[in-house]
Amino acid sequence: MAPLPGFSGFPGSGLAKGLAVTLRTMTKKSVTGQYPDTQPDLAPRTRGVIGLFEENCTVCMLCARECPDWCIYIDSHKETVPATTPGGRDRSRNVLDRFAIDFSLCMYCGICIEVCPFDALFWSPEFEYAETDIRELTHERDKLREWMWTVPAPPALDPAAEEPKELAAARKTADKLAATQAVAETDPQTGPPTAGPTEPKGEEP
pLDDT digits (tens, 9 = 90+) for 10-31: 777 888 888 888 888 888 887 7
Q: Contacts by 182-189 with C-beta closer than 8 Å and gap 24+?
A: none
Question: Average pLDDT, whole number, for the chain?
Answer: 84
What stretches of the chain adopt beta strand conformation (E)? 49-52, 72-81, 91-102, 121-124, 138-139
End-to-end CA distance of the chain: 140
Can you tell me the distance from the alpha carbon of 161 to that of 44, in angstroms, rounded to the nearest whole number? 20
Can you tell me the distance from the alpha carbon of 100 to that of 73, in angstroms, rounded to the nearest whole number? 5
Q: 96, 57 in Cβ contact below 8 A?
A: yes
Question: What pLDDT is recorded for position 203?
Answer: 53
pLDDT digits (tens, 9 = 90+) for 52-73: 999 999 999 999 999 999 999 9
What is the mean predicted confidence (pLDDT) over 169-176? 86
pLDDT digits (tens, 9 = 90+) for 119-132: 999 999 999 998 99
- In angstroms, the Cα distances linking 41 to 7, 35, 47, 127 are 42, 11, 13, 12
Q: What is the CA radius of gyration of the chain?
A: 33
Question: What pLDDT is recorded for position 18?
Answer: 87
pLDDT digits (tens, 9 = 90+) for 130-164: 899 999 999 999 999 999 999 988 877 777 878 77
- In angstroms, the Cα distances linking 80 to 59, 60, 138, 180 are 15, 17, 31, 41
Question: What pLDDT is recorded for position 140?
Answer: 95
Can you tell me the distance from the alpha carbon of 58 to that of 145, in angstroms, rounded to the nearest whole number? 15
Sequence-separated (6 or more) residues with CB below 8 Å from residue 95: 59, 76, 77, 78, 79
Degrees (nearest 5) of the Cα angle 126, 129, 135? 140
